[in-house]
A and B are shown apart, each in its own frame.
Chain A
């Protein structure tokens, strides 16, 4: 059975079984390896992508259940993603980097819902994203900075 999905505004066809998690469709079937596998049980956030603009754990979304277009870290360019990526550069957030695609996608979903989150709101939104390198201070600073940047009308990088 062939499924048609849209990722980063590009259309793809895949004959992976409908129970295949989106994570593995992206990584293995489509070759989009920017999205990472960390746990497979919704407890680390490394696999976070957007479906119809909402942050989801792609290890938990079956191909057959997909309800909208997918955006991954490779999707770039749009605010707030671009604003976040440039804030991430300014704050030199990444260490090993493995969790960072998920962190950025989660933060992007936060900022599109809440363009000026306070600390408890950032804590609440980012709590599902583990970083074993411990980059949390820099992540928090970068999210706040990206929010400020967007409020000023920046964000295109």
Chain B
């Protein structure tokens, strides 16, 4: 059987589906070296995305489903061309494999603002994209999944369809050109139908033909809001996450790692834990302990009972000292000046402002967890993750096994937001399983463990200088200091130290489509070792706030309406971005005056290829402030599933508003002060605004949708607060400055 067949059978050990006599397409090509990595036509057919077995059609989606609807949209790309019946297909997460590299990740590699990229630069990044294949980064992140899969997965469907047709044509003794396909069947001119299942085995041995993709006008699935492939499982409690795997003889584990980040463990006394009912073992994990018990409750109680002698963290003693450390980066030469227009030093600033934002936790709804089982020298792992090949490597190392002695499954993710790129829980699960060979273990972190061992969104400081003249901005000069997420996270992921200008550090500030004659953005990298990582929208999540708050200050300084002011500066740079501002002006009724108890704020950020504008409307209720309404306009270019785009925009907005309103991680002696939702909450139904989303499709290039809603939400909220109260808030979260309904 083919290599894919083998991988897939193993990946299905969870008992979801059994592939019997299945045929996998693309098997032969995957073994061949790629002749010309720059040829997207040939490159796209190399990947195994389709299995047809006696149960029907399974589509392999090699990206993590963490809520963003990627299983649905990516499967629809294949199903569209394959003429599969949407109601009967199965969608499976692909195994870790180099074939599933994410080429679109390289899109951001050039030091150029997305909105300004020229065609030759786009083809260059396509070339770099193909080169990432060598690295084999199978990452779900950067709002890239759809962009990456758009052509590849449609081609996978189209070539499979033609291979099936060619077998049918031979059997019927007629030309393939006369055959139609529909709902998983080949249909002959005389009405005779052959099920794909009866053709698959033979079709898999055919050469991969060259086929043209269908024009969008002929699409039947794409461009429509489809029933999500994961919905039924998720509303009936059947969807399986990392800690829902039931195995014979399963034991339950939790960990308690050093909470003083960067510190260690000098020793521990397990006796008090072992005296508790249900606690079976306490294991040494080096910088913490794991407890194995008959259930998770006993494990958590046991972990609390272990007496541990921690060694201290060498981080600054409190949050104020950390901010001082970040501010010290301003004294050093900047790492980047990715925007440097005009002569900013010759302009006297009229406005000087310092902004700051705190560390943030991801707080995925599902705390970190994994299930692992070492059986006869083979480790099987179930862990929701955003980078399966890296997780597999880490698991192998943790268990002391070769990589081919590890099978890794990616079940549903109970939220990712960038957190599940990180391999820490995978390392722990693999290590624990290797210490109790033969016994499957389910590792569940407590919420406190999760919140105190995150890879945080870094705190950041911005120093801004600006000037206006005749109603226009003449100077926008920003210096941004923070520890580098790019260096920390990419370093962990690839094991390579990155040098050079750090684009991720200034994204959302240097790359915004404003025409300002003296426009400079300098990035300063701070030397602070708090663990940091990708957090929804990454650098845009703080730079969007800095940039768009300060643009608002400039608008008010110029005595202008903040939306009209933006349009004046954005229009000449980018009609696409101006379009989202116009759209949000229309849907929010921006030009209609509001009663005194109500006020609006606006912001726009171009991130992940998608300009997104947000208007927030605040309302005084008694002595509190309600976030009453929110309006979003985005332009991700061609939209494949409008309902998923809308829900991602709402999701990104709420994630951003939650952070801006109350999100804050502070540290004492290197330990996060917040441990659970009462101290680190998100918006709830009663304080979530009524949301309207306008989706435009004028952008000539496809952008992402999972993250772009987050950055503009935060400044739009702060700008609305200014409009309502006259108070300019330059540091988040807002609850320190105003009385919102919480």
Residues of A within 8 A of B (CB): 16-17, 20-21, 23-25, 27-29, 31, 33-41, 43-44, 46, 72-74, 76, 85, 88-89, 92-101, 104, 122-124, 126-140
Chain A residues, Cβ within 8 Å of B682: 130-132, 134
Q: Please give me the residue from chain B that is nearest to A104 by CB atom.
A: B235
B237 touches A96 (CB 8 A): no
- B295 close to A (CB within 8 Å): yes
A127 touches B367 (CB 8 A): no
Interface string of B222-243 (1 = CB under 8 A from A): 0001011011111111111101
Please, could you name 19 A-B residue pairs with CB atoms under 8 Å apart, sorted by A? A24-B296, A25-B295, A28-B442, A33-B244, A34-B236, A85-B235, A94-B234, A96-B412, A96-B415, A104-B235, A126-B686, A127-B684, A130-B682, A132-B365, A132-B417, A132-B655, A134-B682, A135-B647, A135-B650
- B56 close to A (CB within 8 Å): no
**Known pairs A124-B686, A139-B685; A17 contacts B650 (CB<8 A):** no
A93 touches B365 (CB 8 A): no
Q: Please give me the residue from chain B that is nearest to A62 by CB atom.
A: B297
**Known pairs A28-B252, A96-B412; A38 contacts B367 (CB<8 A):** yes
B237 touches A95 (CB 8 A): no
A135 touches B246 (CB 8 A): no
Indicate which residue in A34, A38, A122, A126 contacts B237 across the interface (CB closer than 8 Å): A34
Q: Tell me how far the C-beta of A102 lies from the nearest C-beta in chain B, rounded to whole angstroms.
A: 10
- B434 close to A (CB within 8 Å): no
A28 touches B244 (CB 8 A): no
A33 touches B246 (CB 8 A): yes
Determine which residue in A37, A40, A74, A95 has the highest number of CB atoms from chain B within 10 A of its CB, and name it. Answer: A95
A16 touches B235 (CB 8 A): no
Ranked nearest first, the 7 interchain pairs of A and B with the lowest CB-CB distance are A34-B237, A134-B654, A98-B414, A97-B234, A96-B67, A95-B67, A73-B237
A85 touches B297 (CB 8 A): no
Stretch from B81-89, B584-592, B673-681 at the A interface: B673-681
A37 touches B415 (CB 8 A): no
B655 touches A134 (CB 8 A): yes
Indicate which residue in A34, A94, A122 contacts B230 across the interface (CB closer than 8 Å): A94
B414 touches A28 (CB 8 A): no
Determine which residue in B69, B230, B234, B246 has the highest number of CB atoms from chain A within 10 A of its CB, and name it. Answer: B234
- B598 close to A (CB within 8 Å): no
- B363 close to A (CB within 8 Å): yes
Bound Cα distance A39, B416 (Å): 17
Bound Cα distance A128, B66 (Å): 22
Chain A residues, Cβ within 8 Å of B241: 36, 98
A89 touches B231 (CB 8 A): yes
Given contacts A92-B228, A134-B653, 13 further A-B contacts (CB under 8 A): A17-B277, A33-B240, A38-B367, A43-B676, A43-B677, A43-B681, A88-B235, A92-B227, A96-B415, A97-B67, A132-B655, A133-B365, A135-B651
Q: Tell me how far the C-beta of B108 lies from the nearest C-beta in chain A, rounded to whole angstroms.
A: 24
- B480 close to A (CB within 8 Å): no
Chain B residues, Cβ within 8 Å of A104: 235
Bound Cα distance A21, B363 (Å): 23
Chain B residues, Cβ within 8 Å of A134: 650-655, 658, 682-683, 688
A76 touches B236 (CB 8 A): yes
Q: Tell me how far the C-beta of A73 lies from the nearest C-beta in chain B, rounded to whole angstroms.
A: 3
Q: Tell me how far the C-beta of B633 lies from the nearest C-beta in chain A, rounded to whole angstroms.
A: 17
Chain B residues, Cβ within 8 Å of A31: 246
Count of chain B residues with a beta carbon within 8 Å of a chain A beta carbon? 68
Chain B residues, Cβ within 8 Å of A122: 685
Bound Cα distance A130, B686 (Å): 11
Indicate which residue in B231, B366, B654 contacts A136 across the interface (CB closer than 8 Å): B654
Chain A residues, Cβ within 8 Å of B295: 16, 20, 24-25, 27-29
- B410 close to A (CB within 8 Å): no
A98 touches B278 (CB 8 A): no
- B30 close to A (CB within 8 Å): no
- B281 close to A (CB within 8 Å): no
Interface residues of B in 258-282 (CB under 8 A from A): 277-278
A132 touches B364 (CB 8 A): yes
Q: Tell me how far the C-beta of B566 lies from the nearest C-beta in chain A, rounded to whole angstroms.
A: 25
- B479 close to A (CB within 8 Å): no
Chain A residues, Cβ within 8 Å of B14: none
A44 touches B236 (CB 8 A): no
Bound Cα distance A123, B687 (Å): 9
Chain A residues, Cβ within 8 Å of B446: 40
Q: Tell me how far the C-beta of A120 lies from the nearest C-beta in chain B, rounded to whole angstroms.
A: 8
Q: Tell me how far the C-beta of B534 lies from the nearest C-beta in chain A, rounded to whole angstroms.
A: 16
Bound Cα distance A34, B684 (Å): 22
Indicate which residue in B239, B686, B691 contacts A137 across the interface (CB closer than 8 Å): B691
Q: Tell me how far the C-beta of B65 lies from the nearest C-beta in chain A, rounded to whole angstroms.
A: 8
A35 touches B365 (CB 8 A): no
Bound Cα distance A145, B294 (Å): 42
- B3 close to A (CB within 8 Å): no
**Known pairs A28-B296, A98-B414; A130 contacts B237 (CB<8 A):** no
**Known pairs A28-B252, A135-B651; A97 contacts B412 (CB<8 A):** yes
A38 touches B230 (CB 8 A): no
Q: Tell me how far the C-beta of A70 lies from the nearest C-beta in chain B, rounded to whole angstroms.
A: 13
Q: Tell me how far the C-beta of B148 lies from the nearest C-beta in chain A, rounded to whole angstroms.
A: 20
A38 touches B236 (CB 8 A): no
Chain B residues, Cβ within 8 Å of A130: 365, 677, 681-682, 684
Bound Cα distance A96, B235 (Å): 11
Q: Please give me the residue from chain A that is nearest to B297 by CB atom.
A: A24
Bound Cα distance A27, B412 (Å): 17
- B643 close to A (CB within 8 Å): yes
- B166 close to A (CB within 8 Å): no
Indicate which residue in A38, A72, A74, A123 contacts B685 across the interface (CB closer than 8 Å): A123
B237 touches A101 (CB 8 A): yes
B232 touches A89 (CB 8 A): yes
Q: Please give me the residue from chain B that is nearest to A72 by CB atom.
A: B237
Determine which residue in A27, A28, A38, A76 has the highest number of CB atoms from chain B within 10 A of its CB, and name it. Answer: A28
Bound Cα distance A28, B225 (Å): 37
Q: Tell me how far the C-beta of B696 lies from the nearest C-beta in chain A, rounded to whole angstroms.
A: 20
Bound Cα distance A91, B651 (Å): 15
Interface residues of B in 294-311 (CB under 8 A from A): 294-298, 300
Q: Tell me how far the C-beta of A157 lies from the nearest C-beta in chain B, rounded to whole angstroms.
A: 11
B296 touches A89 (CB 8 A): no
